[in-house]
């Protein structure tokens, strides 16, 4: 139903737009217009365009909306339609994008689908032992109608971040040749920061006494755990819409806490912690702590104003993991 409503909204907006104005969109006042759906892409663009004649950057989810439930407004659709570069995560949560781009006004727009950009690094969603499957996934499995679904949380791999940043720079250099040298210089400096972050995560993995993460929540960190050789158990897959876990899932995770002697279980930002408390209450010792890791998929404007960046939030995750695992 939501998808049908969105498609109808997009169609109505595009009819109005095309009737109202015959412009083909594109750069305005010499400024490049870039639209990003999610925070990591927005922050990468900010770094790459720094000092480049005031690029106009729009972050669509700046009110903290969850990537998995976001639906574009009429204003969002118009903003996308006119931009020079549009960057989105890709995957199940962004099915609305095809309709939004079908009648775009700027026919020269460049588009980056982050999931496609990482290429062979893209991973199928994984349902591990003990994990609560979504109701519709269970029904599809019973009917033999399962389709491949890919994990869209590509940005939680620093190595994927490098790939997307390179793609952003390449497209900007084509769109705005005047600032090509500046874009490339900024990219080179930012890639060095990403390399340092990658090195620090490698060091963490080498020093960690505990190599398995127990998530009492959705689990968007598969790209991260695969990069650094960690294992995990979780209540739900990364894009799950489920909010309540079965007793079997709670009991399974509690048993894993006991078996591994884990002193910490993890949740993602905006969790109410209720599931984590239930898991801990079902362990033998009942004294495990709860720690929060940032998935960077719902960063608000207020957090942006507090100078949060992709690097600073990933480094907060680094320190949280170091305290729990080393």
Instruction: Tokens for 280, please give them.
Output: 């801990």
Per the DSSP assignment, residues forming a β-bridge with 112 are 87
Question: Tens-of-pLDDT digits for all 326 residues of the chain?
Answer: 444 444 444 454 444 444 344 344 455 567 899 999 999 999 999 999 998 777 999 999 888 888 888 889 999 999 999 999 999 999 888 999 999 999 899 999 999 999 999 999 999 999 999 998 765 444 444 444 557 889 999 999 999 999 999 999 999 999 999 999 999 999 999 999 999 999 999 999 999 999 999 999 999 999 999 999 999 999 999 877 676 899 999 999 999 999 999 999 999 999 999 999 999 999 999 999 999 999 998 888 788 878 899 999 999 999 999 999 99
Distance from C-alpha of 140 to C-alpha of 127, rounded to nearest angstrom: 14
- Contact between residue 198 and residue 159 where contact means Cβ atoms under 8 Å apart: yes
121 phi-psi bin (left φ>0, alpha ψ -120 to 50, beta other): alpha
For the full predicted model, state whether its pTM sits above 0.85: yes
Q: How high is the pLDDT of residue 134?
A: 64
Distances (CA, A) of 228 to 158, 207, 212, 241: 11, 12, 11, 27
Other C-beta atoms within 10 Å of 312: how many? 12
Cβ contacts of residue 53 below 8 Å, gap of 6+?
30, 31, 32, 176, 178, 179
What the chain holds in terms of domains, given with CATH numbers, is 2-122+150-194 (3.40.50.1980), 208-325 (3.40.50.1980)
Q: At what angle do helices 39-48 and 158-175 cross, to 10 degrees?
A: 50
How are strands ordered across the β-sheet holding 289-293? 231-237, 212-219, 264-268, 289-293
- Contact between residue 25 and residue 79 where contact means Cβ atoms under 8 Å apart: no
Q: How high is the pLDDT of residue 138?
A: 45
């Amino acid at each position: 139903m939501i998808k049908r409503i969105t498609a109808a909204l997009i169609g109505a907006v595009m009819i109005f737009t095309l009737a109202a104005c015959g412009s083909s969109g594109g750069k305005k006042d010499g400024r490049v217009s870039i639209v990003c759906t999610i925070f990591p892409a927005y922050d990468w663009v900010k770094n790459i365009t720094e000092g480049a004649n005031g690029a106009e950057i729009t972050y669509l989810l700046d009110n903290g909306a969850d990537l998995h439930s976001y639906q574009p407004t009429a204003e969002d659709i118009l903003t996308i339609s006119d931009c020079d570069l549009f960057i989105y995560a890709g995957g199940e949560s962004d099915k609305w994008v095809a309709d939004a781009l079908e009648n775009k006004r700027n026919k020269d727009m460049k588009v980056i689908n982050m999931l496609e950009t990482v290429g062979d690094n893209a991973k199928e969603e994984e349902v591990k032992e003990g994990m609560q499957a979504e109701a519709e996934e269970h029904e599809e499995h019973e009917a033999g109608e399962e389709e491949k679904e890919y994990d869209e949380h590509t940005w939680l791999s620093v190595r994927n971040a490098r790939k997307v940043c390179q793609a952003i720079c390449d497209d900007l250099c084509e769109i705005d040749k005047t600032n090509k040298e500046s874009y490339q210089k900024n990219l080179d400096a930012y890639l060095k920061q990403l390399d340092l972050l990658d090195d620090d995560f490698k060091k963490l993995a080498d020093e960690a006494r505990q190599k398995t993460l127990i998530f009492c929540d959705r689990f968007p960190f598969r790209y991260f755990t695969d990069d650094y050789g960690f294992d995990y158990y979780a209540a739900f897959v990364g894009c799950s819409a489920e909010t309540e876990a079965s007793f079997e899932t709670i009991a399974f995770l509690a048993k894993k806490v006991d078996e591994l002697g884990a002193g910490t279980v993890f949740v993602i930002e905006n969790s109410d912690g209720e599931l984590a408390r239930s898991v801990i209450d079902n362990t033998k010792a009942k004294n495990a702590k709860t720690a929060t890791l940032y998935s960077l998929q719902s960063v608000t404007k207020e957090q942006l104003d507090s100078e949060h960046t992709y690097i600073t939030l990933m480094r907060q995750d680094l320190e949280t993991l170091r305290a729990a695992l080393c």
